[in-house]
Structure 1
Amino acid sequence: MKLVNSLITAGTIATLIVTPASAQLGRQQGLVEPNVAADSVVAALPHLNADIAAALKGARPILSSVVLDSILGAKSLSKPQRTELYAKLFVHIDLNRGTDAELLLIPGMDAKKLAAVKGSRPWASFEQFQAEITKATSAAEAARLEQYLFIPVELNSWTDPIMDSFAGIGVGTRQWKREFAEYRPWTSMEQFDREIAKYLRARPTELQRLKRYVYIK
């Protein structure tokens, strides 16, 4: 298949994602993803400006909430300011592999909720997440937490509804659905690196961001 030269630009990616029931990106409530959002969108968020938006863009790919927090701290945002901002902007966390340091950056995350998140790993669906986390908190709070999280996609078994839920963050796009399907069966992440890098010659660091969201059984 020929390389696809025209990719979706950051400015055209919606920041509000409607997530189907079979999704593996948590149902979104308007979070901005700093790896794909337009500079103007980022700069308009609480405590941010054009200079900080440019710094975030220059740091792409931002591969974890901890890295995001470090960048913003270096830009003199206080801890309370960063916590307030994370209600609007965040880097999604792997529900099955996210570290304590990453998860505790989610606004409102506490020891009880953290234990509930870690205690039911590996998670298979967000329906399961809602059922279990509601035991530790309210249904509304479980739904709020969900928007910060994702469940990795298995490259050989994903379905369109699963991948479609990632479209708004530049992962479940038509291009990547096509390429991820074309090379099945995937046998190793080394194969993934080799094949997908062909489509990212103009922005090679994007490969590391895509890899966060996938795995091979």
Structure 2
Amino acid sequence: MKQLSKFALITALAGFTLLSCKEKKSEDTPAETMSEETTSSTEETAPLMKQNVLNVNLATEAELQEKGLAPEVVAAILEKKPLMDMKELDALLGDGVDKAALYQTLFIPMNLNTTPEADFKMIPGVGDRMAHEFEEYRPYTSVAQFKREIGKYVDEEEVARYLNYVFVPVELNTASEEDIKALPGVGDRMAHEFEEYRPYTSMEQFRREIGKYVDDKELARLERLVYLKK
């Protein structure tokens, strides 16, 4: 009789353990589902992660030629630099170019706060869902915010890859040095000059001061990356 009771007790405990495991698995399902979704997104772009992306507006003639662009296209890009956006580049390239492959290594970074959602899909590996997430968290005030929000869906390496294709415009008087240096083509020296002339009272002041260091074309490019609070 005692042996039977002991067996019944063991059986009951085993059943309780199995039930607990099932409940735990059920509770974890949403997180597992999100993990599967983000893994799928990452897998789609995994082959692209190691690419170095050349900014069209910073490219030299030789660098553009190395991309296999036709001479007339190279000439048009050099004449029109800085190009406004990817639509302008897309038009210059015309037909007969494998744009999906080209854009893996040649691109014009997109303003995260103003680019139409549909245009984000020009970024290699970005489909409907991720383009929507890019747009969902506007307005972005810093690169750190972009990393934090988009990092909910993909890993750090993929977020870093996205930063080859997008940027967060900065407010001239309040942006951190980190955010200034995250702007396309802005390094330590130029970041220092941006900060050196604070506070800015107008964009005209910005043009005058930063124009001491760069030519008109580069000044026009830099101006598109910044703004002043009204």
Pair in the same fold by TM > 0.5: yes
Q: Which amino acid aligns with 1:186?
A: Y
Out of 172, 182, 200, the residue aligned to residue 155 of structure 1 is: 172
1:172 corresponds in structure 2 to 187
Q: Which runs of 4+ in 1 moved over 6 A?
A: none
Question: Is 1:56 matched with 2:68?
Answer: no
Q: Flag structure 2 segments of 5+ consecutive residues without an equivalent.
A: 1-48
Question: Is 1:132 matched with 2:157?
Answer: no
* Residue correspondences, number: 181
1:30 corresponds in structure 2 to 52
Alignment check: 8 A CA contact 2:85 2:110 kept: yes
TM-score by length of 1: 0.69
2:119 corresponds in structure 1 to 102
Identity of aligned residues (%): 37
Partners of 1:42 and 1:62 in 2: CA distance: 14
Partners of 1:137 and 1:177 in 2: CA distance: 29
1:31 is displaced (CA, Å) by 0.6
1:104 is displaced (CA, Å) by 2.6
User: Which gives a bigger RCO, structure 1 or 2 (Cα 8 Å, sep 6+)?
Assistant: 1
Out of 176, 180, 196, the residue aligned to residue 182 of structure 1 is: 196
1:127 is displaced (CA, Å) by 3.9
1:138 is displaced (CA, Å) by 5.7
Over 3 Å counting, the alpha-carbon distance change for 1:189 and 1:69 in structure 2 is same
1:134 is displaced (CA, Å) by 4.2
Alignment check: 8 A CA contact 1:64 1:93 kept: yes
Partners of 2:122 and 2:179 in 1: CA distance: 26
Partners of 1:124 and 1:147 in 2: CA distance: 18
Q: Which amino acid aligns with 2:226?
A: V
Determine helix, strand or coil for the equivalent of 1:162.
helix
TM-score by length of 2: 0.66
Q: Flag structure 1 segments of 5+ consecutive residues without an equivalent.
A: 1-26
Alignment check: 8 A CA contact 1:94 1:149 kept: yes
Q: Which amino acid aligns with 1:122?
A: P
Determine helix, strand or coil for the equivalent of 1:104.
helix
Partners of 1:139 and 1:186 in 2: CA distance: 35
Determine helix, strand or coil for the equivalent of 1:107.
coil
1:110 is displaced (CA, Å) by 2.1
Partners of 1:28 and 1:34 in 2: CA distance: 19
1:52 is displaced (CA, Å) by 2.8
Query: What are the residue-to-residue correspondences of 1:80-119 with 2, within 5 Å?
Result: 81-119=98-136
Larger radius of gyration: 2
Determine helix, strand or coil for the equivalent of 1:83.
helix
1:68 corresponds in structure 2 to 89
Over 3 Å counting, the alpha-carbon distance change for 1:87 and 1:160 in structure 2 is same
Q: Which amino acid aligns with 2:124?
A: P
1:60 is displaced (CA, Å) by 0.7
